[in-house]
Chain A
Amino acid sequence: MSAIQNIVMPKWGLAMQEGLVAAWHVPVDAVLEAGQDLLDIETSKIANVYESPVSGHLRRIVVAAGETVPVGALLGVCAPASVSDTEIDAHVKAFQDSFDWDGAKADTGPEPETAETTAGRLRFLRMGDGDGPSMLFLHGFGGDLNTWLFNQEVVAQSGRTIALDLPGHGGSTKDVGPGDLVTLAGAVMALMDHLSLPSAHLVGHSMGGATALLVALERPDRVASLTLLAPGGFGPAINMDYINGFIAEKRAKKLRAVLELLVADPTAITAEMVEEVIKVKRLDGVDAALKTLRDGLFPGGTQAIDLRDRLAALLCPVRVIWGRRDRILPASQADGVPASIRVTLLDAAGHMPHMESAATVNALLQEVMT
């Protein structure tokens, strides 16, 4: 394997075909640590910091700030000092000559599938291959499988992954029954049955975290591990201003203020993200489903089900990841959990650690898969 390491335009989400390099956080010749902020990338839907996928000496910046290139295009090159400039020039030229500029744009990647299951129609996205248990991603309230755009593709390099739209969300059935965790957990089991998965690594965010937790408690035989990101079910407190605002606000200006509660850095919420959420909320049945879930999960403004007392009963490996700047579910809910549960608190993250600190979360997820 060459000592030269490529940094390429990542693919964030199904629709991403190209990205704009908005700014480099480091100059040429910088020494990079994997996970450090490397550059800002903007797509038509999202803007985020891209954290360095590698550690090493940044020898070339191939795409300057302000340029837009396809997914997979070479952005920069790392190599130790022992590699000569001539070798690096040759490496870059070889990459550029062989890169399929048109094909990169045309490649839409894997498409979500839908299945009629015992829990109704469910949409899910499969990525990756391998022999071990699949990693099954469960999004939070109001999200969908695209929540994992910074994570699923990375983890899929280590094995099979599946991101699910929970009932009431994305392309899945809008029938959420009484809007309780049992219904959501039932949908997870239904998909696992449909795909003949004996067990899976469950990754759940927020409401999806509470769902994963309930599955693990009720069917420990089907859960290989749990990774819970800012999970529900860890205490009564929840910021209902967020939940109610998410449901009620139909217009960009006001909804943006609500969505900004999700993240530590409000500039991460782009106009396009707000517009995407509005578009989802307009779909027939979504409003009713969200209200039913709210009333079922958070009656009287607190979480209906507190699973803390049952955490000690969990048999599988469990990790909890929480952003210290979470304004939806307080990170203090991770305090005092049984010692068997590993807790990772992230200083820079709000309620969306898998997006705000994607590299760190991805490293922990890959650890689970290997």
Chain B
Amino acid sequence: MPMKSYRQAVNEALRQEMERDSRVILMGEDVAGGAGAPGEDDAWGGPLGVTKGLEPIFGRERVLDTPISESAFIGCAAGAAATGLRPVAELMFVDFMGVCFDQIFNQAAKFRYMFGGRATTPLVIRTMYGAGFRAASQHSQCLYPLFTHIPGLKVVLPSNAYEAKGLLIQAIRDDDPVIFFEHKAMYDEEVDVPDESYAIPFGEANVTREGDDCTIIAFGRMVNLANQAADNLGKSGITCTVVDPRTTSPLDRETILDTAGETGRVVVVDEAHPRCNMATDIAALICEHRFADLKGPIKQVTAPHAPVPFSPALEDLYIPGVPKIEAAVRELCGKGH
């Protein structure tokens, strides 16, 4: 199986689905780049080159550069989805949701239910999230908990390139609005990714490590860190189960509860701010349903309740890292380990 980057995996998923289904179109700011400009066509392929090369294949009819008008084009994508297309809109940074959230949560998310099941909105919104890019407070947030809160939206957090391709193909084939979160610090990370198309179903957690002492539930980029922590801990005799829920909505409650109950010790790793995030949500879920199995408190490893700082010195402190995850597991497992 060839090694591909997260960026290549997303690009390949888009290309293969556009080849398969002519109803799939892309729109967003600079997704091709250079619209109306005298220089190169497909000048950018998105700010980080993720959609590069698609416009030369599919043309500007299907790869639409938009003005910087998130409300208009995200709403436009929702309207097109409700009337026969399967648009993939790019919200460049999820931080920009502030200017278009109404079209996502009041419009697209509501159509099916509010219209009595008589509307289908196969919309995908791809968006970049996460810290580590020295991009500061308005370009580094996670914010997926906000979308997870909204019934009618599906929320996807692929944790590597293989996951990204399969989950994006599923997102495009899905009949509900899907918010697809791409961690901007992962685009160059490579894993084996099949050339063929494949879809990873939503709501099925991936158990990436199996152990006896502690269950680490991690989201998005944090999955790799949790895996590293588990591997390090394994060398000192502490074995961990690591769970990547893949989607926060739908949420694979069964796998989370089963794996939590099996070890009785739980660490949840979430890059989002600590209040009302996925960590609190998962902790509450486990407490409600597996309290009797727990051998200690559920530990939450998250970013602090502060905006993402700019200075590398501060941002490195801000992001949850492998040592923090290991420390949380060791604390739970006691000094004996």
- Which A residues fall within an 8 A CB radius of B? 15, 171, 250-253, 271, 279, 282-284
With contact pairs A15-B1, A271-B210 given, residues A283 and B204 touching in the complex (Cβ less than 8 Å): no
Query: What residues on A are CB-neighbors of B198 within 8 Å?
Result: 279, 282-284
Report yes or no: B204 in contact with A282, Cβ–Cβ below 8 A: no
Interface extent on B, as a size class? Answer: 10 to 19
Compute how far the CA of A171 lies from the CA of B194 in the bound complex, rounded to whole angstroms. Answer: 10
Min C-beta distance of A280 to chain B, whole Å: 9
- Summarize A's interface: helix, strand, loop or mixed: mixed
Name the residue on A nearest B193 (C-beta). A279
Q: Is B33 an interface residue (CB 8 A)?
A: no
Q: Is B166 an interface residue (CB 8 A)?
A: yes
Query: What residues on B are CB-neighbors of A252 within 8 Å?
Result: 207
Q: Is B61 an interface residue (CB 8 A)?
A: no
Compute how far the CA of A282 lies from the CA of B198 in the bound complex, rounded to whole angstroms. Answer: 5
With contact pairs A15-B1, A252-B207, A271-B210 given, residues A283 and B194 touching in the complex (Cβ less than 8 Å): yes
Report yes or no: A282 in contact with B166, Cβ–Cβ below 8 A: yes
Min C-beta distance of B194 to chain A, whole Å: 6
Q: Given A279-B162, A279-B198, A282-B200, 5 more contacts at CB 8 Å?
A: A271-B210, A282-B166, A282-B198, A283-B196, A283-B197
24 A-B pairs, CB-CB below 8 angstroms? Answer: A15-B1, A15-B192, A171-B196, A250-B201, A250-B204, A251-B204, A252-B207, A253-B207, A271-B210, A279-B162, A279-B194, A279-B198, A282-B166, A282-B198, A282-B199, A282-B200, A283-B194, A283-B196, A283-B197, A283-B198, A284-B196, A284-B197, A284-B198, A284-B199
Min C-beta distance of A138 to chain B, whole Å: 21
Compute how far the CA of A284 lies from the CA of B197 in the bound complex, rounded to whole angstroms. Answer: 6
Min C-beta distance of A65 to chain B, whole Å: 15
Query: What residues on B are CB-neighbors of A282 within 8 Å?
Result: 166, 198-200
Compute how far the CA of A253 lies from the CA of B204 in the bound complex, rounded to whole angstroms. Answer: 12
Min C-beta distance of B244 to chain A, whole Å: 12
Compute how far the CA of A251 lies from the CA of B207 in the bound complex, rounded to whole angstroms. Answer: 10
Min C-beta distance of B237 to chain A, whole Å: 14
- Which B residues fall within an 8 A CB radius of A? 1, 162, 166, 192, 194, 196-201, 204, 207, 210
Compute how far the CA of A108 lies from the CA of B284 in the bound complex, rounded to whole angstroms. Answer: 48
Min C-beta distance of B208 to chain A, whole Å: 9
Compute how far the CA of A326 lies from the CA of B169 in the bound complex, rounded to whole angstroms. Answer: 38
Compute how far the CA of A171 lies from the CA of B196 in the bound complex, rounded to whole angstroms. Answer: 9
Which among B162, B196, B199 has the highest number of chain A CB atoms within 10 Å?
B196
Which among A251, A253, A282 has the highest number of chain B CB atoms within 10 Å?
A282
Query: What residues on A are CB-neighbors of B201 within 8 Å?
Result: 250
Compute how far the CA of A213 lies from the CA of B49 in the bound complex, rounded to whole angstroms. Answer: 52
Name the residue on A nearest B207 (C-beta). A252
Query: What residues on A are CB-neighbors of B210 within 8 Å?
Result: 271
10 residue pairs, one from A and one from B, having the closest CB atoms:
A282-B198, A284-B197, A283-B198, A283-B196, A251-B204, A252-B207, A282-B166, A271-B210, A284-B198, A284-B196
Compute how far the CA of A171 lies from the CA of B198 in the bound complex, rounded to whole angstroms. Answer: 13
Compute how far the CA of A283 lies from the CA of B1 in the bound complex, rounded to whole angstroms. Answer: 13
Compute how far the CA of A15 lies from the CA of B207 in the bound complex, rounded to whole angstroms. Answer: 22
Name the residue on A nearest B192 (C-beta). A15
Compute how far the CA of A284 lies from the CA of B13 in the bound complex, rounded to whole angstroms. Answer: 12
Query: What residues on A are CB-neighbors of B207 within 8 Å?
Result: 252-253
Compute how far the CA of A314 lies from the CA of B43 in the bound complex, rounded to whole angstroms. Answer: 65
Compute how far the CA of A251 lies from the CA of B246 in the bound complex, rounded to whole angstroms. Answer: 14
Compute how far the CA of A261 lies from the CA of B334 in the bound complex, rounded to whole angstroms. Answer: 39
Min C-beta distance of A108 to chain B, whole Å: 11
Query: What residues on B are CB-neighbors of A271 within 8 Å?
Result: 210
Compute how far the CA of A284 lies from the CA of B1 in the bound complex, rounded to whole angstroms. Answer: 16
Min C-beta distance of A285 to chain B, whole Å: 8
Compute how far the CA of A279 lies from the CA of B166 in the bound complex, rounded to whole angstroms. Answer: 10
Min C-beta distance of B201 to chain A, whole Å: 7
Name the residue on A nearest B16 (C-beta). A284
